[in-house]
Amino acid sequence: MRIVVLAGGIGGARFLRGLKQAAPDADITVIGNTGDDIHLFGLKICPDLDTVMYTLGGGINEEQGWGRTDETFAVKSELAEYGVGPEWFGLGDRDFATHIVRTQMLGAGYPLSAVTEALCARWQPGVRLLPMSDDRVETHVAVDVDGERKAVHFQEYWVRMRASVEARAVVPVGAEQAKPAPGVLEAIGSADIVLFPPSNPVVSIGTILAVPGIREAIADAGVPVVGLSPIVGDAPVRGMADKVLAAIGVEATATAVAQHYGSGLLDGWLVDTVDAAAVPDIESAGIRARAVPLMMTDLDASAAMAREALTLAGEVRA
């Protein structure tokens, strides 16, 4: 069974760990969001790719869900002594090594997809991890600060501002000119199932779908496309998805997110049991829906969710 998964960071990575347990023999290709990539300290940082890689490779800081376990912060503390920031972006020493290797390889001319493959040679995530594109895409968020509208990098909005001001618009800068990375369209074209984990529908999965060719390839693949709602009981399970959903005019409900993807793209949608009442509405929009527990409290819970997604995929295929 060939499964293609579009993934953001923490939610995508934890779902993937469950999927690997639920379908140990599956051939899994992950198309990772690179819209939240950022250049800091002259280094190229790919937070979502790294979160997937570290989580599946056993190097993740389990408590916070991102960054390395047993991390130290000597480099960052020294950079601050030089007055070099930003200080709001948490980069540990072990994590720095990843960015140093990546930046060195990119500088030597390797595309991000080749760099990611090289990094994964160490981590052995048990999936094929592809960046959505080798081209630079950078998600910017328009915010009003002191009465002036300005665009900030998504990381600045998310990490520094903690999404505390309203997002007026979310723009994946460069997406329109980006090409899918080598292997992306081929993986979708030969997939048996496409899954959308409970990742952010705007800045994670939405950004991946904004790369020309990817949405079309999924819609045209003729295979079940099943997603899991990141909204449970009208609030995001983690993160601040409601803020960026509002920016694109989508309500923060499991139903609205399903309708945002649309029946042209999505065949099946899992909502949490607390949102069971939404199932008929979603189904009337042409998307098969089921209500199941959607809290990834531990690996078994994530695996159960993955099994429900695969089951729903089987139903929509039939």
Sequence ranges of the binding site? 50
Q: Which is nearer to a copy of itself, 103 or 311 (CB)?
A: 103
C-alpha to C-alpha distance for 291 and 272, rounded to whole angstroms: 5
Beta carbons of 151 and 141 less than 8 angstroms apart:
yes
Q: Which is nearer to a copy of itself, 25 or 82 (CB)?
A: 82
* Beta-sheet strands, E only, within the chain: 2-7, 27-32, 38-40, 43-45, 128-131, 138-145, 148-153, 169-173, 193-196, 225-228, 231-232, 235-236, 268-271, 288-291
By C-alpha distance, which of 279, 309, 304 is closest to 291? 279
Decide: residue 82, CB within 10 A, 0-12 exposed, 13-18 middle, 19+ buried.
exposed
Estimate to the nearest angstrom the gap between the alpha carbon of 260 and the chain centroid. Answer: 17
Q: Residues in the site for a copy of itself, rule: CB under 8 A? A: 41-43, 72, 74-76, 78-79, 81-84, 92-94, 96-98, 100-101, 103-104, 107, 118-119, 122
Helix (H, G, I), strand (E, B) or coil at 34: coil
Q: Which is nearer to a copy of itself, 82 or 318 (CB)?
A: 82
Beta carbons of 242 and 235 less than 8 angstroms apart:
yes
Q: Least distance to a copy of itself from the beta carbon of 63, Å?
A: 19
Q: Least distance to a copy of itself from the beta carbon of 52, Å?
A: 17
Helix (H, G, I), strand (E, B) or coil at 168: coil
- What does residue 98 show for φ and ψ, rounded to 5 degrees? -60, -45
Six-digit token pair at 150? 């300005």
By C-alpha distance, which of 267, 206, 220, 197 is closest to 22? 197
Q: Which is nearer to a copy of itself, 97 or 235 (CB)?
A: 97
Q: Least distance to a copy of itself from the beta carbon of 90, Å?
A: 15
C-alpha to C-alpha distance for 25 and 287, rounded to whole angstroms: 28
